[in-house]
Amino acid sequence: MKKIFLFLATLAFVYSSIGIIETGRADYNFAKNTVFYVRLQKYLNTTYSFHFYVSISPIQRKIYVLNYSCIGCNSFNSFVRYLDSYLKNYSLGGVNATADISNVNNSIIIIPTGRIPAFLLNKGINEKQYNLKEVFKKNNTVIYIGLDFQNAISLGNEIRLSGFDISYYSLNYTDQKINGNFFHTNGTFVLNGANTFDISSFRKITLPEGKINITGEFVVIPSLLDSWPSPQIAAKDVAKFIFYAPWFDTIAYSNSTSKGVGTTYVFAKPLTWIDRSQNVSAFLNFYVNIFES
């Protein structure tokens, strides 16, 4: 029996020109498969583009960016300003810049420091230590924008990392170039055993902590902020990347378009492992783009 989940629909854009009538699941292919769907009311005589994905848990909606000493990040302030705007366009609530992530929980934490912050590895110079284990304990996803883990950064100083420093946090890496539809410099590495998605690699990191295991998502974009042609392009890439959340466990998705006014159904990809006798539902994230006529 599959695990039972709460069903929740989230409209990523709230327009007076469109509304959700209902969400649900339906039988497909003579009840051999299940599909999740959204029924919409369109009020404008124009073209709509719909995207939604179904997942087994809600995506984190709070987003922070760490304001810390860094390399290749002269565009930091402009990047944060543009990123906030793009994330709001995706209805992801914008971004908060912070120098202290010790109280951040159930969030996405962007670390665009170019080198991994040494205080997250208990290696910082004259600064408060707050390591990755503590970050993952609080159900956070880390998106690191930077170079490989040969060095860490601490208040402007680079610190050489040992093999033990790296392996203790499961941050081993291999050199590999990653191609994709985003702008990026040649990828410096992907995490061992990780999945890749255009500009990034990502993996679940499980850290033993007493009798329990701490599992966190560690996502790498192997570039420097200043490597993008502009901070606006960097922010656009990162915002799009967060919206698609390739590290997230997605069970079905849909991309479709529709023209004109009236009601329409948007169906996700049919699921073959769910039958009508199973009480299975999911979280749904929904995005609408309206093309003005």
pLDDT value of residue 2:
29
Contact (CB, 8 A) for 35 and 267: yes
- Please tell me which residue, 116 or 256, carries the higher pLDDT value: 116
Which residue ranges make up each domain of the chain?
8-56+265-291, 62-244
Q: What is the DSSP letter of 260?
A: S
pLDDT value of residue 82:
96
Can you tell me the mean pLDDT for 98-126? Answer: 92
- Above pLDDT 70, what percent of the chain? 69
Question: How confident is the model over 35-63, as pLDDT tens digits?
Answer: 888 888 888 888 887 777 777 666 777 99
- Please tell me which residue, 199 or 237, carries the higher pLDDT value: 237
Question: How confident is the model over 116-136, as pLDDT tens digits?
Answer: 999 998 888 888 888 888 888
> Residue 154 — pLDDT band, cuts 50, 70, 90?
very high
pLDDT at 18 exceeding the cut of 60:
yes
- Indicate the pTM of the whole model: 0.74
pLDDT value of residue 45:
86
pLDDT value of residue 142:
92
Sheet with 96-98: strands ordered across: 96-98, 62-66, 107-114, 141-146, 212-221, 200-209, 195-197
> Residue 23 — pLDDT band, cuts 50, 70, 90?
confident
- Using only C-alpha atoms, what is the Rg of the chain? 21
Whole-angstrom distance, CA of residue 63 vs CA of residue 207: 23
CATH classification number, 62-244, choose in 3.30.390, 1.20.1070, 3.40.50, 2.60.120:
3.40.50
pLDDT at 279 exceeding the cut of 60:
no
Closest to 178 (Cα-Cα) out of 221, 227, 231, 226: 221
Sheet with 8-11: strands ordered across: 8-11, 283-291, 47-55, 250-259
Q: What's the CA dihedral at 219, 223, 255, 29 to 10 degrees?
A: -40
Identify the bridge partners of residue 157 per DSSP, sorted by sequence position. Answer: 154
pLDDT value of residue 3:
31
Contact (CB, 8 A) for 110 and 146: no
